[in-house]
A and B are shown apart, each in its own frame.
Chain A
Amino acid sequence: MALSSKTKAVLLGPLSKNNPIIVQVLGICSALAVTSKLEPSLVMAIAVTIVTAFANMIISLLRKSIPNRIRIIVQLVVVASLVTIVSEILKAYSYDVNKQLSVFVGLIVTNCILMGRLEAFALGNGPWPSFLDGIGNGLGYGWILVVVGFFRELLGSGTLMNFQVIPDALYEMGYENNGLMVLAPMALLLVGCIIWIHRANNKELQEETN
């Protein structure tokens, strides 16, 4: 399928230059809390991508009939219904992951990525570009989650997707898992480092003040 340059920008921009987490600072809350293992990070990334894409599309279809004053409530209702569907599906098909994610599936509702994209994009664009924008932002959110989840699980528990990857021989030589990586603050530190690397490579994103 050939994509025009505009659709490409909509889809791929959020992966790097316009990344929702490290550039727009949206949706941090859930991003940090679920990343102590790779598996929940992946599930969360997929869930957010799906919800963002469809919420964007629905709001974009409704955009001409929503009164401006109550639009936030309308948006929240659309998003909350979608999230309820996703969370019921998760409960049915992967109950363990659902337990690990606990309230954070529900908190997709207040994930700022959703509101941000709905306000900034879906209200002013057609359904198809909005859908792509949702997918792009979901993926941009997702890859950060997966990278953080990867490092935290690898260094913190020596496993990936619950399979042991650090060989036993290494442990016998005195290698220890870094328990600190599993703790919550390390997620912040890792995201901080990702931002550092990203901005070192993209000079135009650097800020002048603290």
Chain B
Amino acid sequence: MDFELTDAQRLIRDTVREFADKELAPLAAELDRLKRYPEKPLQRLAELGVLGMTMPPEYGGAGADTVSSCLALMEISRACASTGVTVSLHNTLTCEIIYRHGTEGQRRRYLPALCRGQILGAFSLTEPTSGSDAASLRTTAIRRGEHYFLNGTKLFVTNGSRAGAIILFASTDLSRGDKGITAFLVEPSFSGFRVGKREEKMGLRASDTAELVLENCQVPVENRIGEEGEGFKVALSSLVTGRAGIAAQAVGIAQACLVASVRYAKERRQFGQPIAEFQAIQWKLANMATEIEAARLLTLRAAAQKDRGLPCTMEASMAKLFASEAANRAAADAVQIHGGYGYIQDFPVERYMRDARVLTIYEGTSEIHRLIVARQLLSPSPLPSPHSWGEGKGEGPQGGPEEGMGAWCVRDGGDL
């Protein structure tokens, strides 16, 4: 047991930290205000090897581990959460899925371009009537010869209008429920593909969130990922890295809240002394710092489990749930510590609060994650729980009703 970073992890963190402090943080307020897509920062991140960083070098990646990926996302999100979510989606969902479930041809075709930042990745599961209940999606895919024809509407797709490679889920057999879902790799140039509404958001305003409309969208058979009916499994498997990524984003935002609050509390004088001298302020700072430390450890544990090939469904859910809620508490306290200035756009904390709000919603709401954790706790043996720490852990149930769980078993899912 050793919570120290390896030299490689430290190098990646320090490199990204320097970029985040020097190049990204100074732009963040303007990107947010103008809702400007972080095109230049993304290009710089590609140059630094951060885009697709967990991909093996033969596909253009840096061969980094999940822990490093989370460390990078923490640093990026500390400076700009919009850039954070953009990279998180690109790395932890699109690249991971293509690498893990794609054919060699798909990997060779897409991964080098994704790693170079020539194209951006997206992940499209959510629909107007299918959020947390992801398996209830209505978009259909019908095969005719060498093509599938997709029809339906996808919602809240991060990077949706910017992406060159979209992992998109549709049903090849609606009668089979989640077992009818299939994953596709969709390019925006495909006929029948159209970007619909671009959402106006409360936070993460520099990130792109779009509706995708599929009207007989023609997808070549070679762009199917996995077999027909394996899509839901593909979606769930990737959500572990995705959730660790969002947890890391949350840690970054929370850290930004703490740093801003400590600085402000030492400078701001009221009643003849810095407000940092008041216990009411000190308590908030102590709570923030403690929860950030816990969130960071939960996040990196989930990542480390993933890197060791161990089951980490519950660990990833705990990390995402805890970190996202801690970030919201940190942001609310940061605004409170800043008082009136906290409400004004000249200070960054109102942005942190807006950015933090989505964390408990996307990539599985807090409610979904509590159900996942509870389901694992209540599942029959082997108990994949904290209680078996240090013992072998069994893979917990993933989606679908489990034996003995009956009606209270819920479906996984829910992205943005």
Please say whether chains A and B are actual partners in one complex. no
